[in-house]
Structures are given as C-alpha cells and as structure tokens.
Structure 1
Amino acid sequence: MRETRFNLASRLIHWAIAFVFLYILLTVLLRLGWMNKGHMGDIIQENLAKDGINLDKDAAGTLAKKVRRPMWETHTIAGYVLVGLYVIRMIINFVQGFGFESPLKAGLSGYKKFKSWVYVLFYICLAGSLVTGLIIEFGPDSIHDVSEEIHKLSLYYMIAFIAVHLVGVVIADGTKERGIISKIISGDRPL
C-alpha cells in the first residue's frame, strides 16, 4: 500500500476549503433557522408592538431580510473564495495527482471504490454548487430560478459529505490508514 503524505500546499487547501465550506453551511442553516425571515419578522413585530408600533407581516419580513443581508453577503463572498480554492485544488490535483484512484479502475476493493466515488461525487456536486451560485449572481435571468433551486439542494450533499467524510476518516485512522488524521494536520504520522 502506498504511503499517503500530504504536503503543505495540499493541507492548507484542504483546511481552507473545509473552513469556507463549513462557514457557507452555517450561513445556510442560520438563514433556514434562527434568521429565517418569518421567524425574525415575528420577533420584529412582537417587539415593535410592545412600543405601540404595528407592522404587517410582509413589512416585518422585508425588514428581517434587510437585517440578515450582511450575513448573506458574506455567504456570497465565501462562495467566491471557494471558487478560487476549488480551482487551486483542481490544479494541485492535476499536477500532483488526485488523492484517490479512479472508481472505475479494475480490481479496487469495495472500500477504495466507495471512497473514490465519494470524492468524485463531492467534486462534481461542489462544481455544480459553485457554477449555480455564479449563475445566480451573474447569469441570465432566464436560468436564474432553476439555478437557484439547484443551488439550494447543495445543503443536502454538504451535510451528507461532511458526515460520510468524518466517519470515513475516523474509521480509516483506526484501521486501514493509521495516522491519516495526524498527516492531514501536520503532514506526518504521530510520533
């Protein structure tokens, strides 16, 4: 079995993508939860009503969207950063080789085939998220709505990938690829 080593460039890109990816996921979850325009609109309405100010639900929702706008702008900025990181990651992959074998390669174990397919699907889904995000911002109005619907589906692959990746790394570190966690942090096996 080939010894897996992660050079500094690969580790930095890995962690930069991970943190930006998690930040984007956080903004989505906040928007769907605590910072949902309906929920925030209700809070605004209730608090203004205490001061004798009546605001209808639509106006409160509009105000709520304005309150969360700065957070959503950081989602967009993080998306641009992720586009850059993705391009750098692809360049590194093409120069140094991908960190996984082709899932179509004959003779791969079930474990390696599964691992390879997870990464292939991740890179395809991430590319889809990035492209649809760019279309939402810069694309023609004719495909804006469909791009936005596809982009919203990113939430599901993001959560699934994080779960599968973390479980897979922990299992691999305890079995087939001992020290993989230490190597992605420091570049070497633990002492």
Structure 2
Amino acid sequence: MKKWSLNFRIWHWVHAAVVLGLLGTVFLRKTFLSWRTNSELLTQKLSEINLEVTAEQAKVLAKAIRAPMWEWHIILGYALAVLLVWRIILFFTQSGKQNYQNLKEETFHKKMVKLGYIGIYGILLFMAVSGLIIHFYEALGLTKDGAHDIKEIHELVFNAVLIFVPLHIIGVFVAENQDEKGILSDMVNGGKK
C-alpha cells in the first residue's frame, strides 16, 4: 500500500501550483504591475510625446494594464477554495489523516510541524473565504468600506502564507537530507508504508 494516495499527491501538487500562482500575482501587483509606479511612468512617457493625462487618468490606465493579471488571481482564488474543500474531504481518508494520527507519540518538533500544517490550512481557508467575500461583497450586501476592511485583513494575513511557503520548501529540503530521506520522492511516487 502506498503511503500517499494518488488523490492526495495530485491535490498536493495542484495546491502547490495554485498557491505559487497566487503568490506570483501578488508579487506582480506589488512590483512590475503596481498602479502607482506605472501611472507615474505613463504620465512621464505620454508627456514626452506631448500627451498630457491627469493623475487619475494615468491611474485608470495603469489599473487596466494589470487587470488581466488580476483576473488570474481571482481564478486561482476560486481554485484555492475548491482545493481546500478537497483537502477537507481528503482528511477523512487514510492517506489524508495519517499525519495526524498518534500525534502524542511524536517528537516536539514533529508535533509543531503538524500543528503548523493545520494552522496554514486555517490561514488558507481564511484567505479563500475572505477573498470570495471581497469579490462578491455587493451580492453579499456589504459596503465598499466593509469590503475594503476585509481586504486589509486579507492582505495582512497573506504575510503568513508568504512566510510559510519558503519555510515549507526549506523544511522539506532539510528533512530530505537528514532524517526523512525520500520525503520528496514519496510525494511524487506515493512511497511505501
């Protein structure tokens, strides 16, 4: 019998791609596709060819440039919500819940790692739900100010995901090279119990 079912492994790698995609869209939004930076650039470059635009017009143009990328953030957010429901379902399978069985017998480090995973699932669930609320705020009867407040918290909690991803990658690398040889290949081929 495999340590990790095919269903769980597919979930893991699709989930990794979605989270990295979400991180990528946020990175682009905050750097290359920042409306603040690009609106200034548009104002300057248009001025050089004798076209004057107001700061508000430049802002609208800059946001329009990044809009297609932001649509990907929304699509990936839907995917994250679906993946979290899938993970909850997987938790009730042997492959999905095995990490949390016999927790009392684990070392302190292993307990902290496993509790960390539960914590990140909670954080990702918050991110998915708050993202959906932000996107559908009008249909939910929320005000624009209410949606903005939720967005502020959404962006703040995002930092936990930003911290977790490199820690997870580093942790897997360390485990692979110390006491859990094959941890990465097990998540590819399923491993053996």
**TM-score (structure 2 length as normaliser):** 0.88
With CA pairs under 8 Å and 6+ residues apart, which has the higher RCO, 1 or 2? 2
Q: Which runs of 5+ in 2 are unaligned?
A: none
**Contact 1:11 / 1:185 at 8 angstroms: preserved in 2?**
yes
1:120: which partner in 2?
118
Identify which of 1, 8, 11 aligns with 1:10.
Answer: 8
Query: Matched residue of 2:100: which SS?
Result: coil
Q: More deviation in 137-146 or 85-94? A: 137-146
User: 1:175, CA displacement in angstroms?
Assistant: 2.0
Over the residues paired in the alignment, what is the CA RMSD in angstroms?
2.0
1:16 deviation in Å?
0.4
- Provide the rounded CA distance (Å) in 1 between the counterparts of 2:101 and 2:33: 41
Distance 1:132 1:45, change over 3 A: same
Q: Residue 95 of structure 1 corresponds to which residue in structure 2? A: 93
Partner of 2:154: 151
Percentage of pairs with the same residue: 32
Find the residue that maps to 1:54 and give its secondary structure: coil
CA contact (8 A) 1:20 1:78 kept: yes
Q: Whole-Å Cα distance in 2 between the matches of residues 154 and 25 of structure 1? A: 13
Superposition TM-score, scaled by structure 1 size:
0.89
The alpha carbon displacement at 1:99 in A equals 4.6
| Mapping of residues 22-37 of structure 1, within 5 Å | 22-37=20-35
Task: Please tell me whether residue 165 in structure 1 is matched to residue 168 in structure 2.
Answer: yes
Contact 1:102 1:116 in 2 (8 A): no
Letter in 2 for 1:112: K
CA contact (8 A) 1:38 1:61 kept: yes
List 4+ stretches of structure 1 deviating above 6 A: none
Q: Secondary structure at the match of 1:123?
A: helix
Residues 1:188 and 2:186 aligned together: no
Counterparts of 1:86 and 1:126, CA distance in 2:
8
